[in-house]
Amino acid sequence: MKVVTVACDKGGTGKTTSAMCLAISLSKLGKSVVVFDADNTGGATTWEACTKDDGKPLPFQVVPVNRPKLDRLAKRKGEEEDFVIIDTPPSDTAIINSAIEAADLVIIPTQPSRADTFLAGDTYRSSDKPSYILLTRVKARTKLLKETLKELQDAEFMYFPTYISESESVKRLYGGNETSPQYDKVCQEMLKLLDE
């Protein structure tokens, strides 16, 4: 079992979308997955409910969890799936820390802006696990993207070479059981990092 934690101190960076889309991508590859919804807003749980309401349920389960469940996961007890993906809330340091402690890999979604990458950097530096920045809501070939990539390189932060575009197609993924080619590509990169 591999545990992937999706975390960032800032809200609105695409944590839930990234967690769910990566879980869908893994399922398409035949991996067994469970998503742990550690965010008290229940975004991943609501996503799962939408798919059931539409008659197109997800190929995996979403389980609301609390800190004791995450602490137990860190000791690798009770999970049978190939992958556990943990969706975390912003700003809840105790939950984020427990989710990172349980992780084999930490994915830190962030938008390309100084404010967003600053807080993503806080999450990155607080992790003692292998951690990678995932740029989301990206407008390609912009000065802002170039500046953000330079900031990440200057800070010596590891990041995924594939980024998630700012697009209507990505925004429409919420509540469905499809993912995007970009998330499929990030999933392949993630599997290489985990030696899968």
C-alpha to C-alpha distance for 131 and 126, rounded to whole angstroms: 10
Provide the domain limits for residue 65: 2-193
Q: What is the pLDDT of residue 12?
A: 83
Q: What is the pLDDT of residue 80?
A: 79
C-alpha to C-alpha distance for 49 and 40, rounded to whole angstroms: 16
Q: Which helix (H) or strand (E) holds 98?
A: helix 93-102
Question: Each residue of 128-141: pLDDT tens digit?
Answer: 999 999 999 999 88
What's the mean pLDDT in 159-164? 96
CATH number for 85: 3.40.50.300
The DSSP string of 104-157 is SEEEEEE-SSHHHHHHHHHHHHH--S-EEEEE-SB-TT-HHHHHHHHHHHHTT-
Supply 53's token pair.
Answer: 């309401």
Phi, psi at residue 27, to the nearest 5°?
A: -60, -40
CB 42 within 8 A of CB 13: no
C-alpha to C-alpha distance for 91 and 69, rounded to whole angstroms: 19
Question: Each residue of 90-114: pLDDT tens digit?
Answer: 888 899 999 999 999 999 999 998 8
Residue 75 has pLDDT above 90, yes or no: no
Q: What is the pLDDT of residue 78?
A: 56
Supply the pTM of this predicted model: 0.93
Domain count, the chain: 1
Question: Each residue of 57-69: pLDDT tens digit?
Answer: 999 999 999 999 8
Nearest CA among 170, 106, 177, 115 for reference residue 138: 170
Q: What is the pLDDT of residue 79?
A: 62
